[in-house]
Amino acid sequence: MCEVNGRHPSLSQKEILEVFFWGVSQLMPRKENLDVRIDIYNIDDNVTGYHCKTDIHEIEIEKDQNISDFITALFHELVHVRQTERRIFSDESIAYYDRPTEIEAYQLQEELYIKWKKNFQSTRQ
C-alpha cells in the first residue's frame, strides 16, 4: 500500500504512484506487502528527501524540485526502503557520502532514472 500526501506542482498523485510502483517493481520485484507513505512538502533542511521506518516506511520529498530531480529523489529514497527491508542500515559514524548505503542509493537513483525515462518515453510515443 502506498499513500501520497501533498502535491508536486507538475506531477499528479497518479503519476507519482506510477513512478513509485515502477521503482518498487525494479528494486523489489517479489515484494508483496510494503506499506509506504510519501509526504510531499517544503522541507526546511537543504535536502531533497528523507526515509525512515516506523510501523511503515515514511518518505519525505522536497516539493520544490523539477520533475527529474523529484523522481530521482523518490528513487533514492526507495533504495533506502529496499535496504531497510533487507536489514541493511546506515553507519552514521561514516561521513554521509562515504556510507555504503548512500553510495548505493546515489548509484541506483541514476540508473533507475535513466531506465525509467527510456521506459516512460517509449510507452508514450
Phi, psi of 61 (to 5 degrees): -125, 135
* Each residue's pLDDT tens digit, 9-66: 999 999 999 999 999 999 999 988 899 999 999 988 788 999 898 889 999 999 999 9
What beta strand segments (E) does the chain contain? 2-5, 36-41, 49-53, 57-62
* Each residue's pLDDT tens digit, 96-120: 999 999 999 999 999 999 999 988 7
Q: Global pTM? A: 0.91
